[in-house]
Amino acid sequence: MRKNSIVLVEYVDSSSIFGWHRFSNDDSIAHCVVVGIVKDEDDNQIVFIMGKSDSGNVDTTLAIPKVSIKRIRQLRIGGGKNVETSRMERRLQG
């Protein structure tokens, strides 16, 4: 994935039920969806951030193991025709 791409990620995660509860056969993994900005990638994981300012600050970092990722789709805001969107994308690249 290209750094600073805005993506929709579908992945699976562990789940648990905390504390005392009724026994159930409904225990299963969590199916998750998140939209984020690609920060980094290596052989084992992709790191996403949920927001980034033009001053360099980021909001919420999420590292997802590649083995957990089911699908990634790159998103285009405004179909690439919006001038403001293009300016923001250039800022994010910097």
**DSSP per-residue codes, 22-39:** ---S---PEEEEEEEEEE
Residue span of the structural domain in which 51 resides: 6-17+28-93
- pLDDT class of 46 with cuts at 50, 70, 90: very high
Burial 72-85 (b: 16+ CB within 10 A, else e): beeeeeeeeeeeee
Structural domain count of the chain: 1
Q: Which residues pair with 37 in a beta bridge?
A: 6, 49
- Residue 23 resides in a domain: no
Per-residue pLDDT averaged across 44-54, rounded? 94
Per-residue pLDDT averaged across 58-76, rounded? 95
| pLDDT for the residue numbered 90 | 61
- Residue 82 resides in a domain: yes
